[in-house]
């Protein structure tokens, strides 16, 4: 089996607070996409994703999380963005680490599936499986927060994965 190669496509480091970050004009030459972020915030952050600026009710997810003393799970359907992380209370400088993989993003014969993992030290760890109910090839990826803003110096990096 060949070893996967991560090719850096773009890194965004925020110079001012923002409620979203968008990667556009994504080349269609890779098998998967991986987005890695270290998000900082001054309020509770809930990480979300939108593909191709689709804000229709086309996102579905199943998540599980734990904090060392309790665990939770939930499923969400017909959402206007995909839930990537619900655990973060990114106050007092605590960074939220998120890794999102979009599989077969350029395929036009299937819905897009995603896996997200997130962690905030001393808060919780979460894993999410997501589906975007569209057969369109992914050309833009937007990470947003439904509450608060990503703070200055939050970083977001997008990679193409070659098989």
DSSP 36-50: EEEE-BSS---EEEE
What domains, with CATH codes, occur in the chain? 5-162 (2.60.120)
Distance (Å, whole) CA 148 – CA 35: 20
- The SS3 assignment for 35 reads strand
Distance (Å, whole) CA 78 – CA 59: 6
Read off the DSSP letter of residue 107: -
* H or E element at residue 20: strand 20-23
Task: Tokens for 90, please give them.
Answer: 């990114």
- pLDDT for 42 equals 62
Q: From first to last of its 163 residues, what are the pLDDT tens digits of the chain?
A: 567 799 999 999 999 999 999 999 999 999 999 999 998 876 667 889 999 999 999 999 999 999 889 999 999 999 999 999 876 554 544 688 899 999 999 999 999 999 999 988 777 889 999 999 999 999 999 999 887 888 899 999 999 998 6
pTM beyond cutoff 0.85: yes
Which sign, positive or negative, has the C-alpha torsion 145, 149, 154, 156?
positive
């Amino acid at each position: 089996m060949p070893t996967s190669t991560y090719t850096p496509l773009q890194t965004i480091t925020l110079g001012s607070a923002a409620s979203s970050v968008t990667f556009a004009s994504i080349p269609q030459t890779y098998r998967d996409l991986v987005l890695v972020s270290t998000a900082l915030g001054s309020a509770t952050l809930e990480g979300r994703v939108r593909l191709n600026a689709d804000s229709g009710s086309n996102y579905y997810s199943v998540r599980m999380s734990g904090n060392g003393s309790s665990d939770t799970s939930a499923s969400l359907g017909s959402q206007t963005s995909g839930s990537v992380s619900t655990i973060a209370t990114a106050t007092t400088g605590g960074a939220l680490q998120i890794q999102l993989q979009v599989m077969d993003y350029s395929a036009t014969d299937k819905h897009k599936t995603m896996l997200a993992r997130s962690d905030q030290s001393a808060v919780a760890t979460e894993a999410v499986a997501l589906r975007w109910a569209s057969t369109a090839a992914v050309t833009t990826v937007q990470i947003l927060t439904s509450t608060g803003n990503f703070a200055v110096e939050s970083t977001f990096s997008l990679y193409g994965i070659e098989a």
